[in-house]
Each structure stands twice: as structure tokens, then as C-alpha cells.
Structure 1
Amino acid sequence: MKKMALSIILLGLSSVAMADLSASCKVFFQQVDSLVNNIPNDVATKQQAEMIKQNLKLTKQQISAMPKENQEEGCKQAIVGLKQYQAILKAK
């Protein structure tokens, strides 16, 4: 369920290299990378973790293709969503 919520956050963004990303997007993807890297690497989660990593890579590509102004707005919203997601995880 946690992994699915993270996927929804990633897919909610409408653009590969971190150098092509705005400041907010760099912060967002650093935070998401940290979350993804903390997913246990066991048989039960391996397939989901790989799917999340592929979605993350695609999302980075899509966001980096967007104009910086659009990146900023979208990633600021994504950071808010990620903070809400993290608060839910801490509450459990």
C-alpha cells in the first residue's frame, strides 16, 4: 500500500538528468530517491520496487523536458503531497 501511494504521487506529476531540473524538483527527487532506496529488497517487494524505480526514471525524464517554470509549480505541489504521504507513514 505504501509503495502504491508513492507511485500515485509520482504519476500525479505531469517531464533525465538532475541538472535539467528546477530547484524544487531536485529536492523532490532527492526525497523520493531516499524513500525508494529504503524499500526492503526482498522477494515480496522486489517487483513493486522495480516498477516504482522505472516510474521514477520516466517521471524524471518527463519533468526535465518541461519548462523550468512548470517544473517549479509541479514539484512544489509534489513536495506537499510527499510530506502528507510521509506524515501518514509516521502515524502508522
Structure 2
Amino acid sequence: MGRTFSDRETLGILILVTVVVVFLTSVGSLLISATMVGLAIVCVHGAFRDPEDLFMDEQEGGGAGLFSLIGGSAAAAAGNSMMSRV
């Protein structure tokens, strides 16, 4: 062709080719069906999730879970969380 394309032209051509390939092949139906399955899983998870355990009691504090790894007291937090479950 003898000419260079700008970034904007290249992006536009790639978007156009992607849209054509997605809708003219079975990739479009695969993406839509995978999105629907994922949405169904999220809806089922949201329907059966118990939101009562989302908040901590005042006695537990923030020393368990991910924050215990950051604070360096992972062993103590693991022992405390195991004892609180018993």
C-alpha cells in the first residue's frame, strides 16, 4: 500500500474486523452463552448467600483474615480464629 496507518485508523480497522469475525462465526454465540452461564451462577450465588455473616462483631476485631497476614501475626490469628469456631 505504501502508506502508514495512524494509531486511530489501525484501532478502527481492528475493531471492525473483530466485530465482523465475532458475528459471522460461532464465537458470538459462545461468548453470549458463556456470559449467560456466568450471570446465572452470580444470580444463584446471590439468592442463596447469607448476608448475616458479612459484618464482624466488636470482639473479633480486624486481626483475622487478610489483615493478620499484613500485620505479621498470622499464627496468632489462626489460633484465635480456630478457637472462636469451636
- In the superposition, the TM-score normalised over structure 1's length comes to 0.28
Q: Which has the higher helix share?
A: 1
TM-score (norm 2): 0.30
Q: Which has the larger radius of gyration?
A: 2
